[in-house]
Copies of this chain bind each other. A is one copy, B any other.
Amino acid sequence: MPSTIGWSVSDWIQFHRDSTPDQSYNVLLSLVESLQISPKDPAWISVASEKNLKHQWKILQSKSDKLSLKLYGVPIAVKDNIDALGFNTTAACPSYEYIPQADSTVVALLREAGAIIVGKTNLDQFATGLVGTRSPYGITPNTFSPAHVSGGSSAGSASVTARGLVPLALGTDTAGSGRVPAALNNLIGLKPTVGVISTSGVVPACKSLDCVSIFSLNLRDAQLAFSVCAKPDFENCEFSRSLPANPLRHYAVKPRIAVPIDMTNKWFGDTENAKLFAKAVSTLEKAGVEVVPMDFTPLLDLAKCLYEGTWVAERWAATRDFFGTNPDEQSLDPTVASIIKGGAKYDAATAYEYDYKRHAILNKVHENFIDIDAMMVPTCPLNPTISEVQAEPVLVNSRQGTWTNFANLADMSGLAIPAGFRGSDGLPNGITFLGRAFDDYALLDLASRFLKAQYPEDNRPVGHVTDKYAGVSDELDEQIPSVNLDATVKLAVVGAHLKGQPLHWQLDQVQATFLERTTTAASYRLYVLPSQGIAKPGLRRVDPEVDGDAASIEIELYAIPTEHFGEFIAMVPRPLAIGSVETISGDWVKGFLCEESGYKARGTKEITELGSWRSYIEKAGEKSKRPF
């Protein structure tokens, strides 16, 4: 039986492809049998029984297209405030425990994609906390140090991912619950834009702000899981939102990323994390980013509103019926119970007043950050020990939320990634990229650039898995998200916009997706236009019967989101035009053409016989290399 510790999603997929269904099942069974629940392993509240696993496997095997499923046979852990059929849901409160009647929407999507749910993970009760200590099922220790907290509230999901038991786990993230434990366990923690992953079937914390989050060892797995889970669910989820038809895939070549200008008193006595953050800023510069120091005060003020303001009443709204049943005190975490009951004291008028305050702050934020692409902040200022948290359970928790609490109030996408290890104790901490709503994929791309700059040798350690490195799995799949062709214009490019050519960046700028390399129908001629600057070809359609010779010319096809096409055409200079070009397969697409006044101008040279601009450039390059 192979050890599956630290396997990425693609490791699992590869194994299943190379195995018989029985072999695959047995490895999953062996994994599940190796898992121990609280109190032996406080990260798990429940794990799949053999019967449960067999049932899941049977359903998966009954699917006709199973081997093409993106998550075929991939074991996934689910935070125990997210419903998954076959497991009770506890939200880490034994007296709250119930048997769900259906999968949550996100779990249903994962199963449709082939995933196997291996267990439910521990959390700060009712997802109220950033520490991982607030649970009757026990304290989840940090995977790097038993004396330190795992971070929370998605403590168990972070722990089992960091230990390499599963390649993916679901958490939730209202105030930082998906980001803080990612930072403290050397993980990727994707906190999507509010509503993009349905929260139907998730025990609410603050329903208007709750997000399902994704833990993974590497970026590519997070990207894949996000693409599976990000589906609209308007019927079941009040806050469901669709991603745009073609969401932002990446920022500009040199994006403007804001970092806090002033970190005074923001480390609360810690000295190591400041160094990690300073290093991250220089890595960001190395990655070709324009780092823009900015005043984050309005966002820090907003962060305070989350617990000092009325949003805690959302927690009360979600649980007051339960608290009304006078639940067993033993089953309650006293800190959590006291926070949630505090939500009962606010009146509705005050809730609206906090909403006004939020809007006033956001106006400032939008004004200040208008020409910023994204932000980079520390994920959390501290790596607290369990005893430090126990001594000051509210204070330490609140400090940990400094850079996470505001994100959902400000409707931002967020992605926590590792920033390396502290010199003093070898513990990890991280940074978080924050973007505009719906820029989740662009954040993944930014993170990929960042990690490539930090680990040019691809030797980034993942989670707390010995001898495992991210390798190329921090590079993204270019086919995700799949392009929505209905909302694009198909464009054939023939010259300076080809891959590797000097104007290709214009296609990047308008978020174009490469579709294929092909040729035109055999009805075209190609010219080199006279030019002072970048060399440009001119494509001319001819009628072979009338005009004589013509050829098939090499083209690349791109899909440009329709709403960005106007930006693109503004960059097309005369004598070039965008008309219709016939491909070799007889399709007509939009494409670059040249005016007659261009290809008949003095100095123009016909190169039809070369069949492609690339051949011309290569030949010209060879010529210019000749020393004599």
> Which residues of chain A have a CB within 8 Å of any CB of chain B?
206-208, 234-235, 238-240, 310, 313-314, 316-317, 320, 343-344, 346-353, 355-357, 359-360, 363-364, 366-367, 489, 540-543, 546, 560-567, 569-570, 572-580, 588, 590, 593, 595-597, 600-601
Contacts and interface: CB of A to CB of B under 8 A. Distances in A.
Given A489-B570, A566-B560, A593 B595 contact: yes
A450 to B, nearest CB: 30
Counting every copy of the chain, the complex holds: 2
A564 B353 CA distance: 39
A590 B562 contact: no
A531 to B, nearest CB: 15
Given A363-B235, A363-B240, A349 B356 contact: no
A605 B562 CA distance: 35
A195 B503 CA distance: 41
Nearest to A602: B546
Contact of A595 (B239, B313, B489, B579): B579
A314 to B, nearest CB: 5
Nearest to A490: B570
A570 B569 CA distance: 13
Contacts of A208: 352, 355-356, 359
A435 to B, nearest CB: 20
26 contacts: A206-B352, A207-B356, A234-B367, A235-B363, A238-B356, A238-B359, A238-B363, A313-B347, A313-B348, A314-B349, A317-B352, A317-B353, A320-B349, A348-B350, A541-B575, A541-B595, A542-B597, A543-B597, A543-B600, A569-B578, A570-B590, A572-B580, A573-B580, A574-B579, A577-B578, A578-B579
A359 B239 contact: yes
Nearest to A239: B359
A82 B70 CA distance: 59
Contact of A317 (B349, B570, B572): B349
Contacts of A348: 310, 313, 316, 343, 346-348, 350-351
Contacts of A320: 349
Contacts of A597: 540-543
A14 B359 CA distance: 43
Contact of A352 (B313, B566, B577): B313
A588 B563 contact: no
A491 to B, nearest CB: 10
Q: Across chains A and B, which 3 residue pairs bring their CB atoms closest together, nearest first?
A: A577-B579, A565-B566, A313-B348
Contacts of A590: 569-570
Contacts of A593: 577, 579, 595
A350 B158 CA distance: 33
Residue in A347, A348, A563, A569 with the greatest tally of chain B CB atoms within 10 Å: A348
Given A234-B363, A238-B360, A575-B579, 11 more contacts: A234-B367, A239-B359, A346-B347, A562-B570, A563-B566, A565-B565, A569-B569, A569-B590, A574-B588, A577-B593, A579-B593
A590 B575 CA distance: 11
Contacts of A566: 489, 560-566
Contacts of A350: 317, 348
A555 to B, nearest CB: 16
A601 B543 CA distance: 9
A352 B543 contact: no
Nearest to A540: B596
Contacts of A235: 363
A333 B313 CA distance: 33
B574 A567 contact: no
Contact of A596 (B351, B359, B596): B596
Contacts of A367: 234
A477 B168 CA distance: 59
Nearest to A567: B562
Nearest to A346: B348
Contacts of A360: 238
A183 B533 CA distance: 64
Contacts of A343: 348-349
Residue in A207, A239, A356, A597 with the greatest tally of chain B CB atoms within 10 Å: A597
A565 B489 CA distance: 11
B574 A565 contact: no
Residue in A240, A344, A542, A595 with the greatest tally of chain B CB atoms within 10 Å: A595
Given A234-B363, A314-B349, A578 B580 contact: no
Nearest to A358: B238
Contact of A347 (B206, B344, B366): B344
Residue in A349, A569, A576 with the greatest tally of chain B CB atoms within 10 Å: A349
A262 B276 CA distance: 65
A542 B598 CA distance: 9
Residue in A234, A566, A574 with the greatest tally of chain B CB atoms within 10 Å: A566
A577 B207 CA distance: 51
Contacts of A546: 600
A356 B238 CA distance: 6
A567 B565 CA distance: 9
B349 A316 contact: yes
